[in-house]
Chains A and B, each alone.
Chain A
Amino acid sequence: MSAGSVPFSGMIDAYERVTGRIPYTINIELPGMAIAKVLRSTMAHARIARLDVSRARQLPGVYAVLTGADLLERSDIYPYFGPVFRDRPILAIGKVRYVGEPVVAVAAVDADAAQEALDLVDVDYDELPAVFGIDDALAPGAPLVHEEPPKAGHTFADIILHGHPGTNICNQFKLRKGDIERGLAEADEVFEDTFYSPPLQQVPLETHCCVAQVTDGRVTVWATSQIPHMLRGNLAEVFKLPTSRVRVIVPTLGGAYGAKCYPAIEPIAAVLALSAKRPVKFHLTRDEEFVTVTKHGGRITLTTGVTRDGRIVARKSLCHFNTGAYADIGPRLIKNGGYGTAGPHNIPHVWVDSFAIYTNIPPAGAFRGYGINQAAWAYESQMDVIAERLGLDPYEFRMKNLLTEGQTFATGEPVEDCHFRELLTMVAKGIGWDATTRRTRQGPIVRGKGLSCTIKSTVTPSTSIAVVNLNDSGSLNVLTSSVEMGQGQKTAHAILAAERLGISLDKVVVVSPDTDATPYDQQSSSSRTTYAGGAAVQLAVDDVRAQLVRIGSGLLGVPEDAVEIADARVRTKAPPHRGLELGEVVRKSRSGALVGRGTFQTKGNLDPETGQGVASAHWNQAAAAAEVEVDLETGKVRLLRYHGASYPGRVVNRVQAELQLEGNVGFGVSQALFEEMVFDGGQLQNATLADYMLTSTEDMPRELVVHILENRERGDIHGIGETSLPPVMAAIGNAVFHATGVRVKDLPITPEKVLRGLRERDAADQAERNAHAAEPVR
């Protein structure tokens, strides 16, 4: 396990993982702990006309029954929360805004009693007209989801707010690069296409869970959260307490994918714990998870101007993201999803208007890919629409337009460490790309290949802090609030610390987040855990190294520049390397332990009117090639082969890197082919895993190759958690087009849509033949 000799590839907590002993939040049980359950709205939009919880309160075994009105009355509670706007009530106040919104919360001796109490609640609603889709919400005179403009609170530095009071527009992002009208006028051909991505759910197998306790004027929660410090801040606001009096502890997560990025259920558990005067556990059922947070449905219209020889000269993007009843992180996501529509292409004139729209469906938040899935589905599909019309090879057309070193992205910033062409070429070679033989047919089965290449930012500016304690035994504790959610954060941070200090991996322990002890980390999202959290760990180790050198030089009686750290010792540089073991240096320093601190901070911002500036500290780059099989009789699509490529800079843990890339394929296949939240009148129709289909072993391509393009000399770490997901859907969609000639523009690519497309294609062919037949014979 020594760092430095053979690089470690695996997970340091593998034993716990295969024995079922990983300590998830759902395992936490405290003495006297009550179980929470929530009564949810059955209406999409309604005034709460009457709410009677008196019978529920009288039920034996019930410790607390709370309504929004109860919370509003309490002087010690501020009953709203949210990462940007404080627009989300802990429990519905006055009206409900979506089917599934929490209305009444109960804490009882067990789940059966809590459920019985909910059954005794009487609630009457006065139904209000509701809006579900983007067009409903934007129609003149549409009912307003929020009558008052949402109240912004303390939030992230990169967030730009452009409100539209009196409408359902939650926020707008604008980007203006070059002169769009001139660019479109200069184009030989202009293409306008609209693409649609449906609302989805992240479906972590571990649903949200929170155990809360309020004692001695302190609030403690054990939470399934990707963002311990912001959750602490939101809870401090709710309880009107200094943040120091709130403690957030985050055990290992059973998957997250963005679902657990922002506060959701924790305020409910915490106010119940206050009211019940005992610890409370709130663990969502699967159907509740579906209505707690979702991926934004998105409609994106791209107007792209190209020259006849295939250069993209202008792109105008109109993006609408359905953010549901509460903003969550929608106000930020529209920025990434907006500028993201320019793709990894060198386009001189770009114009983007991107909107987050309030509607009466469950709130949409962060989802692996963060707006770029929707954007990439649009621009990478349109790339092939254009290539087809101009008679260009989709590979050559992309190669002509992909950004190269130093060219500027839509935000005007030069893209450095740029590898798009290499990545695209890797996957094209892998799949056996040949423009002339992309399609084959055998009976009713046709095969086709498709390509895709995408760019993704990482949240900028951002901050991560790490602390390391070098113990007097020479072992190291790493304190960070980065969250282990299956991506291997603990292993990656342990490797980075061990190799930086030159000690063996088994001497390093990475502590789980506990905001009482572990320092600030902005969030475990945006593919930044290894990259930014890891950088903070390295800086903290550097701080300890500097102390070791200083103290060691004194102990060895030589100047600091004559001292080095090697072989887990502080020693003289000159042979015979007189030295002391690291633990010995700590002991002789009489300081108990050496404490190192590291703060990693990135800088950047965008102009609020033009979207020009610095959007990302670096750019995450990926490409994909897919080969599919389509059954012309059933419309069923099967992914046969897939090559995916990513640029991670430097790989820290080989097997984890592969798992991220392979995992993104699994995550993307079902988004391409199956996943969709289906609503009827705001009521979710498929809130079970019997009706909402995920990728299984059978759906994975039989040939799956992930290409990892490393650059060890440069040494930078680029995030890969999300990077390779956005290209999956368009690569499959483009392959389906090349197999069948059917262009599906709205995900998922279901057999019904393919069959409908085939019929339309055949009808068009027939009409053309008839037209020819009707021509007079010469």
Chain B
Amino acid sequence: MTLASDAVAMRPVDMDGKVELTLRVNGRDHRVRARPHHTLLEVLRSELKLFGVREACAVGQCGACTVLADGKPVSSCLVLAPMAEGKEILTVEGLEGPNGELDPIQQSFVDHTAFQCSYCTPGFLLTTKALLAENPDPSEDDARAYLAGNLCRCGSYVKILDAVMDAKERVRGRSAPR
């Protein structure tokens, strides 16, 4: 098996020490240049200007930089950009529909005002999306446990859990056969 990073190691390095990477983000392929030690977080922000991805702890403890990689929540601060090649990356910017209509999880967060400063919100939204994909009918305690890796220093947890439980119904309602 060849690791993506091995393949990257064989690519030409430019004057800035950067290599070319192809990242699939929000359903599109993007060619970017990055130094091999740059994290996915850094590249999403600096190259693709996806500012919904935010650093807060840089050690994978707070969930603010969460993105979905092949549907699984990962801390993009802990993923080296070359390791993300070949994966389907989803950021908060990819949650909206083509005309800017909100995903049901986003709409539920709006309706419950499940945020204050909202720095953590994209991470919560994406983790919730992964939760509901894994378990379409989580209990509130399931949701608490699943979201425990996302910190909200403003402490909007009551409304966040309300929004998640409501989003569950909305997502199920939407996917239910008619």
User: Interface residues, chain A, CB within 8 Å of chain B?
Assistant: 9-11, 14-15, 17-22, 24, 26-27, 112, 203-207, 252-257, 285-286, 485-488, 655-656, 658-659, 662-667, 688-690, 694-698, 700, 704
Contacts and interface: CB of A to CB of B under 8 A. Distances in A.
B31 interface: no
B152 interface: yes
Interface in B122-178: 122, 125, 143-145, 147-161
Interface stretch (B1-9, B59-67, B79-87): B59-67
Given A19-B100, A256-B117, 14 more contacts: A10-B113, A11-B115, A18-B92, A18-B109, A19-B52, A19-B95, A205-B54, A205-B56, A206-B117, A286-B57, A485-B117, A688-B59, A696-B147, A700-B157
A663 B155 contact: yes
Contacts of A255: 116-117, 119, 153-154
5 contacts: A20-B50, A206-B117, A666-B152, A688-B61, A696-B148
Contact of B113 (A22, A655, A666, A690): A655
B57 A704 contact: no
Nearest to A286: B57
A207 B109 CA distance: 24
Please list the 7 inter-chain residue pairs (A to B) with the smallest Cβ-Cβ separation, ordered nearest first. Answer: A20-B52, A666-B155, A486-B117, A254-B119, A663-B155, A486-B116, A17-B118
B29 interface: no
Contact of A207 (B56, B149, B161): B56
Contacts of B76: none
B109 A662 contact: no
Contact of B54 (A26, A662, A664, A700): A26
B86 to A, nearest CB: 24
B70 interface: no
A205 B93 contact: no
B14 interface: no
A285 B58 contact: yes
Contacts of A700: 144, 155, 157-158
Contacts of A22: 118
Contacts of B116: 255, 486-488, 659, 663
Most buried by B among A26, A663, A704: A663
Contacts of B35: 112
B89 interface: no
B110 interface: yes
Most buried by B among A17, A203, A665: A17
Contact of A19 (B62, B92, B149, B154): B92
B57 A697 contact: no
Contacts of B52: 19-21
A15 B101 CA distance: 10
Contacts of A698: 144-145, 148
Interface of B: 17, 35, 50-54, 56-59, 61-62, 64, 91-93, 95-96, 100, 102, 106-107, 109-110, 113, 115-122, 125, 143-145, 147-161
Contacts, number: 167
A15 B103 CA distance: 11
Most buried by B among A18, A20, A689: A18
B156 A697 contact: no
B56 A659 contact: no
B153 to A, nearest CB: 5
Does more than half of chain B's interface fall in helix, strand or loop, or is it mixed? Answer: loop
Contacts of B50: 20
Contacts of B153: 203-205, 255, 257, 666-667, 694
Nearest to A285: B58
A14 B145 CA distance: 26
Contact of B147 (A9, A656, A663, A697): A697
Contact of A689 (B59, B120, B157): B59
A285 B41 CA distance: 14
A19 B96 contact: yes
A206 B56 contact: yes
A666 B158 CA distance: 10
A531 to B, nearest CB: 18
A545 to B, nearest CB: 30
A701 B100 CA distance: 36
A696 B149 CA distance: 7
Given A26-B54, A254-B118, A285-B58, A697 B155 contact: no
Contacts of B93: 19-20
Given A18-B106, A27-B51, A486-B118, A663 B156 contact: yes
A18 B59 contact: no
B83 to A, nearest CB: 19
Contacts of A20: 50-53, 91-93, 121-122
A749 to B, nearest CB: 19
A697 B145 CA distance: 7
Nearest to A14: B110
Contacts of A486: 115-119, 154
B46 to A, nearest CB: 9
A205 B120 contact: yes
B48 to A, nearest CB: 12
A256 B91 CA distance: 25
Contacts of B54: 24, 26, 205-206, 254
Contacts of A695: 151, 155, 157
A256 B158 CA distance: 20
A288 B115 CA distance: 26
A666 B118 CA distance: 15
A403 to B, nearest CB: 28
B156 A662 contact: yes
